[in-house]
C-alpha cells in the first residue's frame, strides 16, 4: 500500500489527530500526528487488517530546537509496505504515550530516547537510563546540552 | 540518584534459594563488556536483566560534529567484526540523499566485500559459539581461514578490521590485479573448512545435546521484538533484506535464504540459529562466485565521489541493509550543511539483545551462556 493511501485511512479514522502528510524525494514519505494520540494511531497501524505494521524498525528521538521529535519507522511483513510516523512534543513537557506494549522492541528504543533526549513515555514499565550511567544528569543529545565539569571526581571535558 | 534501578521481585516460597549474580562486565563469555544481572533458583535462571552502556562512545553525538565522509570511520567501529557491512547502509543513505548513481564496478566490489565480511563474521560467530559450548578446535580452524579473507581486505583497504573502504559515491581504492583469483581461493578454503566443521561440530552429538531445545524463540515473539538476521531466520521466518527489500544489485544473483527447520530439536532453538549461519556462508560463497564472474574489469571507482557534500535541507532517510547479524539501519537527517543534523544507528545487536530476558528464562545457568552466544552480539553496536 502506498503512503498516501495509508494517510487516507488514518485521516478517516482520527481526523484532527493526523496533522500532515509529506512526500518529497529524496526523503521518505511521512505522516505527522498529534503526540497524545500516538498510542491509538499505532494500535490501528498494527492491528488493522489492511495495514498490519507488525515490525517497528526504528524509533528515534530528535532535537528540533523548540521541541523534541519522535520518529517511528514501521514495516509490515504481511503487506511489505513501510511508513514513517512523526510527532513532536514541547521541551518543557515532553510527555507522550509509550508504544512498548504494542511492539516490545520499543522498550529499549524508548529508554534510549529518554536517556539521550529526555522524553517521558507514559505507560512504559521501566523507564530508566540505558546507555549512560543510572545517575547521569541531563540529556546529552539535546543541542543545548552542556557537559558537567566532573562525574564522581573524574574530570569530564578533555 | 532517583533513577536507580527498581527491581520488583515476586518472591516464591523458595525465597532463600534464590540468588542474584553478576555475569560480567568483564567476562569472556559475555562477548564484550556486557553485564547480566541474573537471578537463579538453584541452577535454573528465573530472571535476566542486561545492563549495557559500558562501551558507550557517544557515536551519535560525535556524528553531529563531523562531516559526512568523516562519519565513515566511526561507523566501522560499531560492529567492528563486520565493518564493511556497516559502512554500506550509511553510504547508501547519503548517496540516496544526494541522488548519486554508483558505478557498476563499485557495486560489484561492494557486494564481494560485504559477502566476504559476512563469511568472516559468521566464522567468528560459529567459532565462539562452539567455544561457549566447550569446542575449541573449530575455533582455531575458523580463525585460520578468516585470515585469508582479512588479507584480501587488507590488500584492498590497508586495514585489517576497520577499513574505511566504502566512500560516498565510490570506494577508497580500486582492487588489485590478482583480486578475483584470491577471492575464489579464499572461498574454496571456506567451503572446505565448513564441510569439516559440519561433521566435527554441528552434527556432533555432544554439541546437539548441548544446544538443541534451549533458548527457543517463537517467530511471533521474534517479530514483536524486531529481531532480524539469523536470530529471526532461525525461528523459521524466511526474511532477508537482500531479497525482500532488495538494495544495490542483489536482485541479479541467485541465492537461497536458509531458515531454521527444527531439525534436531524444537524450531527456533540455539542449534537452529547456529545452522542458519553455516548455510548462509555457503550462500555468500555462491553470491561471490556470481559477482566475480559478472564483475567488469574496467571502470573508475572514484568517478562518482562528489566534491561537495551538501544534501538538501530537511531531507531525511532511513536506509537499512542486511548486516551479518541482521538489519542495520541508519536514520540520517540533513540540515543543508556539510554536517548531518542527526544520525541514528539502529544497532542490530542492540535490538536482538533485548529479546534475551524472554528466551533465557527457565533454562539452566550454563545454557544462558549458550543462548547469549547464539544471538551473536557485538557490544560495540549495542552501546554505540
DSSP characters for B138-180? HHHHHHHHHHHHHHHHHHHHS-SS----EETTEESSPPPTTHH
| pLDDT 10s digits, B298-312 | 888 888 888 888 888
Q: Does A93 touch chain B (CB under 8 A)?
A: no
A100 compared with B3, residue with greater pLDDT? A100
At A147 the pLDDT is 83
Pick the closest to residue B78 from B281, B369, B291, B343 (CA basis): B343
Contact flag B333-A108 (C-beta cutoff 8 Å): no
Residue A133 contacts B where some CB pair is shorter than 8 Å? yes
The predicted structure's pLDDT at residue B384: 83
Q: Is the CB of B97 less than 8 angstroms away from the CB of A26?
A: yes
Q: Are the beta carbons of A80 and B245 separated by less than 8 Å?
A: yes
Contact A60 B53 (CB under 8 A): no
pLDDT-based confidence at residue B7 (cuts at 50, 70, 90): low
Q: Pick from B1, B226, B316: which is nearest to A56 by CB?
A: B226
Q: Distance from CA of residue A115 to its chain's centroid?
A: 13
Element (H, E) at B119: helix B104-133
Predicted confidence (pLDDT) at residue A127 exceeds the cutoff of 50: yes
pLDDT of residue B15: 57
Q: Collapsing DSSP states into helix, strand and coil, what is residue B83? A: helix
Q: Mark yes or no for CB contact A57/B346 under 8 Å.
A: yes
Over range B270-279, report the average pLDDT: 90
pTM of the model: 0.88
* Residue A71: closest C-alpha in chain B: B331
Mark yes or no for CB contact B331/A73 under 8 Å.
Answer: yes
The CATH class of A3-155 is alpha beta
Q: Is the pLDDT of residue B197 over 70?
A: yes
Q: What are phi and psi of B121, to 5 degrees?
A: -65, -45
Tell me if A80 and B6 make a contact (CB, 8 A cut-off): no
CA B159 – CA B153 distance, rounded (Å): 7
Using CB atoms within 10 Å of the CB of residue B327, give its burial: 0 to 12 exposed, 13 to 18 middle, 19+ buried.
buried
Taking an 8 Å cut-off on Cβ atoms, the answer to whether A58 and B329 are in contact is: yes
Residue B269, pLDDT > 50, answer: yes
More confident residue, B13 or B69: B69
A138 CA to chain B: closest CA distance, Å? 12
Q: Does A74 touch chain B (CB under 8 A)?
A: no
Number of H helices, E strands in chain A: 3, 9
Q: Please judge whether B315 and A28 are an interchain contact, meaning their C-beta atoms are less than 8 angstroms apart.
A: no
Q: Looking at the partner chain, which of A61, A77, A140 has a beta carbon nearest the beta carbon of B239?
A: A77
pLDDT of residue B8: 55
Is pLDDT above 70 for B240? yes
pLDDT of B14 > 60? The answer is no
Q: Which residues contact A24 (CB under 8 A, 6 or more apart)?
A: none
Q: Do A132 and B53 touch (CB under 8 A)?
A: yes
Residues of A in contact with B327 (CB under 8 A): 57
Kindly list the residues from chain B whose CB atom is less than 8 angstroms away from the CB atom of residue A138.
Answer: none
Per-residue pLDDT, averaged over B58-80, amounts to 88
Chain A contact set for B346 (CB, 8 A): 57-58
pLDDT tens digits, A35-68:
888 888 888 888 888 888 888 888 988 888 888 9
Output the average pLDDT for chain B.
86
Instruction: Give CATH for domain B3-383.
Output: 1.10.645.10
B327·A135 Cβ contact <8 A: no
B315 contacts in A (CB within 8 Å)? 26-27
Q: How far apart are the C-alpha atoms of B165 and B84, rounded to whole Å?
A: 7
Contacts of B350 in chain A (CB under 8 A): 108
Q: Which of B6, B53, B101, B217 to mutate to test the interface with A (most CBs of A within 10 A)?
A: B53
**pLDDT digit string (tens) for B295-352?**
888 888 888 888 888 888 888 889 889 889 888 999 999 888 888 888 999 889 899 9
Share above pLDDT 70 across residues of chain A, in percent, rounded to a whole number = 99
CB pairs under 8 A between A and B: 89
Q: Where are the domains of chain B?
A: 3-383
Tell me which H or E stretch contains A142.
none
Element (H, E) at B354: none
Q: Looking at chain B, which residue has its C-alpha nearest residue A76?
A: B223
Largest CA distance in chain B: 74
Segment B37-65 mean pLDDT: 87
Strand pairing category for B18-23 and B35-41:
antiparallel
pLDDT at B119: 92
State the DSSP code for A29: P
Give the whole-angstrom CA distance, residue B86 versus residue B323: 7
| B chain contacts of residue A142, beta-carbon cutoff 8 Å | none
Question: In terms of residues, how long is chain B?
Answer: 384
Q: Give the mean pLDDT of B251-274.
A: 87
Mean pLDDT of B262-281: 88
The whole-number average pLDDT for the span B39-53 is 87
Whether A110 and chain B come into contact, CB under 8 Å, resolves to no
* Averaged pLDDT for residues B148-162: 89
Per residue in B367-384, pLDDT tens?
888 888 888 888 888 888
The secondary structure of B95-109 as a DSSP string is: HHHHTPPPPHHHHHH
B225 contacts A105? CB cut-off 8 A: yes
How many other C-beta atoms can be found within 10 angstroms of the C-beta atom of residue B46? 18
Q: How many CB atoms lie within 10 A of CB A157?
A: 8
Residue B1, pLDDT > 50, answer no
Task: Tell me the shortest Cα–Cα distance from B138 to chain A, in angstroms.
Answer: 34
Q: What is the least distance, in Å, from the CA of A36 to any CA of chain B?
A: 23
For residues A118-134, average pLDDT: 88
The answer on pLDDT for B5 being more than 70 is no
Amino acid at each position: 500500500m502506498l503512503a498516501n493511501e495509508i494517510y487516507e485511512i488514518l485521516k478517516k479514522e482520527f481526523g484532527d489527530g493526523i496533522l500532515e502528510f509529506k512526500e518529497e524525494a529524496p526523503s521518505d514519505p511521512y505522516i505527522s500526528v498529534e503526540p497524545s494520540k500516538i498510542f491509538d494511531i499505532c494500535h490501528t497501524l498494527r492491528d488493522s487488517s489492511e495495514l498490519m505494521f507488525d515490525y517497528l524498525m526504528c524509533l528515534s528521538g530528535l532535537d528540533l530546537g523548540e521541541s523534541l521529535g519522535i520518529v517511528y519507522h514501521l514495516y509490515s511483513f504481511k503487506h511489505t509496505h513501510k511508513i514513517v510516523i512523526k510527532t513532536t512534543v514541547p521541551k518543557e513537557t515532553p510527555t507522550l504515550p509509550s508504544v512498548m506494549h504494542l511492539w516490545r522492541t520499543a522498550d529499549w528504543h524508548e529508554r534510549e530516547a529518554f536517556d539521550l533526549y529526555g522524553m517521558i513515555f507514559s505507560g512504559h514499565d521501566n523507564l530508566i537510563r540505558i546507555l549512560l550511567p543510572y545517575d547521569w544528569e541531563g540529556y546529552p543529545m539535546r543541542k543545548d546540552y552542556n557537559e558537567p565539569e566532573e562525574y564522581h571526581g573524574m574530570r569530564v571535558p578533555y | 540518584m532517583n533513577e536507580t534501578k527498581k527491581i520488583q521481585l515476586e518472591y516464591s516460597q523458595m525465597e532463600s534459594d534464590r540468588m542474584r549474580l553478576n555475569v560480567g562486565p568483564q567476562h569472556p563469555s559475555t562477548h564484550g563488556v556486557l553485564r547480566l544481572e541474573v537471578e537463579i533458583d538453584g541452577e535454573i535462571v528465573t530472571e535476566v536483566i542486561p545492563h549495557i552502556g559500558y562501551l558507550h562512545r557517544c557515536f551519535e553525538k560525535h556524528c553531529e560534529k563531523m562531516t559526512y565522509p568523516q562519519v565513515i570511520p566511526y561507523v566501522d567501529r560499531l560492529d567492528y567484526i563486520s565493518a564493511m557491512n556497516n559502512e554500506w547502509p550509511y553510504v547508501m543513505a547519503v548517496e540516496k540523499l544526494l541522488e548519486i548513481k554508483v558505478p557498476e564496478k563499485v557495486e560489484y566490489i561492494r557486494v564481494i566485500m560485504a559477502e566476504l565480511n559476512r563469511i568472516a563474521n559468521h566464522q567468528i560467530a560459529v567459532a565462539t559459539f562452539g567455544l561457549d559450548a566447550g569446542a575449541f578446535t573449530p575455533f582455531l580452524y575458523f580463525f585460520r581461514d578468516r585470515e585469508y579473507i582479512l588479507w584480501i581486505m587488507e590488500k584492498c583497504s590497508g586495514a585489517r578490521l576497520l577499513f574505511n573502504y566504502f566512500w560516498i559515491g565510490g570506494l577508497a581504492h580500486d582492487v588489485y590485479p590478482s583480486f578475483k583469483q584470491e577471492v575464489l581461493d579464499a572461498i574454496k578454503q571456506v567451503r572446505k573448512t565448513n564441510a569439516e566443521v559440519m561433521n566435527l561440530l554441528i552434527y556432533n552429538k555432544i554439541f546437539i545435546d548441548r544446544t538443541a531445545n534451549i533458548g527457543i524463540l517463537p517467530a511471533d515473539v521474534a517479530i514483536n521484538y524486531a529481531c532480524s538476521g539469523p536470530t529471526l531466520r532461525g525461528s523459521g521466518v524466511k526474511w532477508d533484506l537482500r531479497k525482500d527489500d532488495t538494495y544495490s544489485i542483489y536482485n541479479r544473483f541467485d541465492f537461497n535464504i536458509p531458515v531454521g527447520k527444527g531439525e534436531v530439536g524444537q524450531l527456533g532453538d540455539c542449534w537452529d540459529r547456529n545452522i542458519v549461519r553455516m548455510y548462509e556462508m555457503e550462500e555468500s560463497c555462491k553470491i561471490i562466485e556470481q559477482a566475480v564472474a559478472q564483475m567488469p574489469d574496467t571502470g573508475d571507482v572514484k568517478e562518482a565521489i562528489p566534491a561537495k557534500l551538501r544534501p538538501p535541507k530537511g531531507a531525511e532517510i532511513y536506509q537499512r541493509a542486511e548486516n551479518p547479524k541482521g538489519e542495520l539501519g541508519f536514520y540520517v537527517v540533513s540540515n543543508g550543511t556539510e554536517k548531518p543534523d542527526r544520525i541514528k544507528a539502529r544497532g542490530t545487536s542492540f535490538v536482538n539483545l533485548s529479546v534475551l530476558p524472554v528466551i533465557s528464562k527457565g533454562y539452566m545457568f550454563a545454557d544462558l551462556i549458550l543462548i547469549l552466544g547464539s544471538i551473536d552480539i557485538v557490544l560495540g553496536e549495542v552501546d554505540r
